């Protein structure tokens, strides 16, 4: 198993390089970062060429990529013309752990990402945990009560939830639990931010502000997960070894949770293993609607300004997470099914 994990990590290195080349080429074609380095003001024509030259943006794209990858010595840049150097003169490159500085606020990329990623993990991991637990309960129960009234009801609600776009669900929840509840004099839920600035950031405030974003994200995923678990459980329950286990006199709970659910978890592990890495990228639509200061909003804000260092940092973080979680998923396969051997 150890040799397999090492081999997979080594195979992931050229894959990440190919991904970085594609992403870098796409980012360099999306916009001009120098045009908006002055914030809301357009960069002056007299400074435009000077900034491009000093930032190395006047060089061919393959040269810029090599600078981004392995580093180079940059000319120090005075972005706003106040006589103060705004960016460091030397970059080490991402191969040595330096993602550079943001072109928008001149902060180190890892500092910019580090300020937002805890907020995203709080929101996304909470939603994923609710989705997995809820889908397991609903999916297994629907499989055991196939074609019952409850199964038909869950099926109908699942199709409704899965067919609704996330922005519609979010706006609907905001209208009901914030606008209407406040109008009716009932306790209502907040709709923006992580906490009330007048109260201050606390665990209670964060949990209170998480309710609507987490529910909005969970509706669609819960609907799809529960249907998938139901179908895999139905397939497993019809297998010969399940009938053999029942004929041996094993209790229904043992048959379901020890034999059936463990084998039905293999395809479910695949879905979860694919979803978890993208949690680091945040929920772009949800974070925008609820003004949640996470990675999704960070990505939108900086991609609109063509801030290549920050956007590449976010995308490469997600790409590395995909490779790592796929290896973890393979290890979980071997644990769930002893017949799987990678040696």
Contact 310, 113 (CB under 8 A): yes
Q: What is the predicted pLDDT for the residue at 57? A: 74
CATH of the domain at 131: 1.10.3720.10
Q: What is the predicted pLDDT for the residue at 173? A: 92
Domain boundary among 108, 140, 161: 108
Q: What is the predicted pLDDT for the residue at 181? A: 92
Question: Does 203 lie in the same domain as 67?
Answer: no
Domain boundary among 91, 108, 125: 108
Question: Does 248 lie in the same domain as 228?
Answer: yes
Contact 130, 105 (CB under 8 A): no
Question: Does 254 lie in the same domain as 165?
Answer: yes
Q: What is the predicted pLDDT for the residue at 222? A: 87
Q: What is the predicted pLDDT for the residue at 79? A: 47
Q: What is the predicted pLDDT for the residue at 73? A: 54
Whether residue 22 lies inside any domain: the answer is no
Q: What is the predicted pLDDT for the residue at 172? A: 92
Q: What is the predicted pLDDT for the residue at 179? A: 92
Give mean pLDDT in consecutive 10-residue pieces for the chain, a chain of 343 residues.
81 90 86 65 69 77 84 54 50 75 84 90 89 88 87 87 87 92 91 86 90 89 86 87 84 82 78 80 83 88 84 90 86 73 63
- Alpha-carbon 143 to chain mean position: 30
pLDDT tens per residue, range 111-155: 999 999 999 989 888 988 998 888 888 888 888 888 888 888 888
pTM score of the predicted model:
0.81
What residue numbers bound the domain in which 95 lies?
32-108
Residues facing 101 on adjacent strands: 108
Question: Does 163 lie in the same domain as 98?
Answer: no
Distance, in Å, from the CA atom of 284 to the CA atom of 294, rounded to the nearest integer, reads 9
Contact 318, 299 (CB under 8 A): no
């Amino acid at each position: 198993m150890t040799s397999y994990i090492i081999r997979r990590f080594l195979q992931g290195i050229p894959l990440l390089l190919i991904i970085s080349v594609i992403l870098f080429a796409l980012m360099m074609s999306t916009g001009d970062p120098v045009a908006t380095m002055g914030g809301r003001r357009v960069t002056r024509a007299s400074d435009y060429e000077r900034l491009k030259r000093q930032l190395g943006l006047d060089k061919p794209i393959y040269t810029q990529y090599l600078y981004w990858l392995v580093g180079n010595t940059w000319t120090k840049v005075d972005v706003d013309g106040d006589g103060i150097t705004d960016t460091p003169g030397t970059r080490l490159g991402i191969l040595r752990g330096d993602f550079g500085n943001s072109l928008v606020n001149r902060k180190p990329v890892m500092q910019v990402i580090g300020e937002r990623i805890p907020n995203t993990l709080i929101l996304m991991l909470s939603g994923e945990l609710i989705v997995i637990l809820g889908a397991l309960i609903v999916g297994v129960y629907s499989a055991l009560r196939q074609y019952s009234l409850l199964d038909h009801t869950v099926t109908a609600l699942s199709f409704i939830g899965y067919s609704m776009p996330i922005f519609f669900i979010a706006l609907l929840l905001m209208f009901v639990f914030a606008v209407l509840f406040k109008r009716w004099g009932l306790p209502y839920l907040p709709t923006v931010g992580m906490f009330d600035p007048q109260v201050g950031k606390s665990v209670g405030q964060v949990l209170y502000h998480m309710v609507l974003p987490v529910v909005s994200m969970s509706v669609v995923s819960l609907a799809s997960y529960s249907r998938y678990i139901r179908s895999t459980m139905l397939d497993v329950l019809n297998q010969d070894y399940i009938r053999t286990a029942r004929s041996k006199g094993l209790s229904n709970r043992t048959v379901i949770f020890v034999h059936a659910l463990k084998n039905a978890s293999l395809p479910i592990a695949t879905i979860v293993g694919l979803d978890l890495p993208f949690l680091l990228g945040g929920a772009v639509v949800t974070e925008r609607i609820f003004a949640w200061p996470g990675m999704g909003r960070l990505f939108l804000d900086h991609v609109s300004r063509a801030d290549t260092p920050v956007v590449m940092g976010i995308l490469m973080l997600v790409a590395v997470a995909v490779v790592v979680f796929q290896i973890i998923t393979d290890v979980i396969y071997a644990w769930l099914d002893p017949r799987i051997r990678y040696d």
